[in-house]
Amino acid sequence: MAVPEDELLRHLRARGLVAADVPLQARPLTGGVSSDVYAVVGPGLDVVVKRACGRLRVADEWLADEERLVTEGWALRVAADLQPGAVPRVLDLDPSTRTLVLERAPRSWREWRAELLAGRVDPAVGELLGRTLAGWHEATRGETRWLAGFADKTAFVQLRIDPFHRVVAARHPDLAPLIEAVVERLLARADCLVHGDFSPKNVLVGDDRVWVLDWEVAHLGDPLFDLAYLLCHLTLKAIHLPAHAARCRATAARFLAAYGAEAGEELGANVACLLLARVDGKSPADYLTPLERERVRALGRELLHNPTLLEEWT
């Protein structure tokens, strides 16, 4: 159930973000399935207010701990300290109500997913994201004590492993051993701070800069997951937009090069699982046609059996 707008406005006033007599307007923002998100504007205030949903808005039942909203606030603060200007500033975080108030992007900035789906594919964005992600991963690598608050993988399991990998394994029993091997590696590793939802829908582009949003799945984990997540989405766009496939592949190549990674077997296996998840998991990509879903499914299965094929794509 969506948060009543008057409740959000009372919250902002109670937290001292705006005076009691200042008129405010709240407007729901669309596009996500895991949170209620509002833009709130008024004299001296222009913010985004976010609260996590306990039940995600998808066809299959999908439940997740709302505490992930607090994790997101902490992660955004860490990310901002390490790379100022690459994420929105956290203006307020209230753990008791799991409410996060963020700086709002300039109106001229654009969601990268919408840009890609419109055929405006700029490989330079991939390069910028590769450098940005590498900076976060390298700065937090091995910092298990400093980042102990991100050691819990509950949200990662609830929002990624269970609805993606394990649902796909149940629907493709012949692939289950290969998928479970990927899951075991993802859950065993705690190398650095991993975003967990590094996709075009969570990237805003403008003024030769990017903001990376939605850190609610952040955890100490395997950096390959973030790389695979973006490569999966660029692969989906290439299949959906064949006229722009070459630029999607160039974007992927520049992303990997800027990060300093190569398309090895483990990365290929991760990409394969995520491709299958976007057609047979709990949150399928809604823009794919039935024929495109079949192509994605076939590619995911082939790549999982032979993950080195990723090198040919990138």
Angle at 31 between CA 123 and CA 27, to 5 degrees: 120
Instruction: Give me the phi and psi of 138, to 5 degrees please.
Output: -65, -40
* pLDDT the model gives residue 56: 47
Longest dimension (CA), the chain: 63
**Which ranges in the chain are annotated with CATH 3.90.1200.10?**
110-313
**How far, in Å, CA of 168 to CA of 268, rounded?**
16
Q: Which residue spans of the chain are classified as CATH 3.30.200.20?
A: 5-103
pLDDT tens, N- to C-terminus, the chain (314 residues): 355 667 777 878 888 787 777 777 888 876 555 578 888 888 888 899 988 765 544 444 444 467 888 899 999 999 999 999 999 999 999 888 888 999 999 999 999 999 999 999 999 999 999 999 999 999 999 887 889 999 999 989 999 999 999 999 999 999 999 999 999 999 999 999 999 999 999 999 998 899 999 999 999 999 999 999 999 999 999 999 999 999 999 999 999 999 999 889 999 999 999 999 999 998 899 999 999 999 999 999 999 999 998 887 76
Give the pLDDT score at 65: 60
pLDDT of residue 23: 79
CATH topology of domain 5-103: Phosphorylase Kinase; domain 1 (3.30.200)
CATH 3.90.1200.10 assigned to 110-313:
yes
- pLDDT score for 130: 98
Contact 195, 227 (CB under 8 A): no
pTM of the model: 0.91
**Predicted pLDDT of residue 32:** 54
